[in-house]
Amino acid sequence: MKRPTKVLIAKAGLDGHERGALVVAMGLRDAGMEVVYTGIRNTPEQIVAAAVQEDVDVIGLSSLSGGHMAQFSRVMKLLKKEKIKGVLVFAGGIIPDEDVKKLKKLGIKEVFGPGSSIASIAEFVKKSVRSK
């Protein structure tokens, strides 16, 4: 049997807003995926190390502090540096539209804003992993 899709939900930055990250984590778990949650306050280095250690297929990055450009681009850079390929990265939180475009250019597949449903996120992950 194929192992279930393994997802790391990661919170970058110093802020403590984790409701969104946790609700998405629980939603993906109930959609049949294996989910690891980092907790709050992680550096990009810690996030990439956790992704490697847990050997995940997907990384979901969450940010609500406004530091997403610096933190997410560093995560993408480190993934490249560590030669980690084939990991799907998506993001969520309070991310301005102008930054969404920039993040997608860096290789972040999708950005989910406030009001997104768990169903739509789970659907996106399933489809993207299948088509990989």
Spatial distance between the Cα atoms of 39 and 19, rounded to a whole number of angstroms: 11
- 70/105 with CB nearer another protein: 70
The mark string for 81-110 relative to another protein (x by CB under 8 A, - otherwise) is -------------xxxx-x-----------
The residue from 82, 104, 105, 113 that contacts another protein (CB under 8 A) is 113
Which residues are CB-contacts of 126 (< 8 A; sequence separation ≥ 6)? Answer: 5, 31
Using rule CB under 8 A, residue 13 touches another protein:
yes
Chain centroid, CA 44 distance in Å: 12
In the chain, beta strands by DSSP E: 6-11, 34-37, 58-63, 88-93, 110-112
Minimal distance, residue 81 CB to another protein, in Å? 18
Using rule CB under 8 A, residue 76 touches another protein:
no
Q: Please name every residue paired with 60 in a beta bridge, in sequence order, or none if there are none.
A: 9, 90
Q: How many residues bind another protein (CB under 8 A)?
A: 34
- 26/84 with CB nearer another protein: 26
- The closest alpha carbon to 130, from 1, 2, 13, belongs to 2
Neighbours of 106 (CB within 10 A): 14
Binding site residues, another protein, CB under 8 A: 13-19, 22-23, 25-27, 29, 35, 37, 39-41, 65-67, 70-71, 94-97, 99, 113-115, 117-119
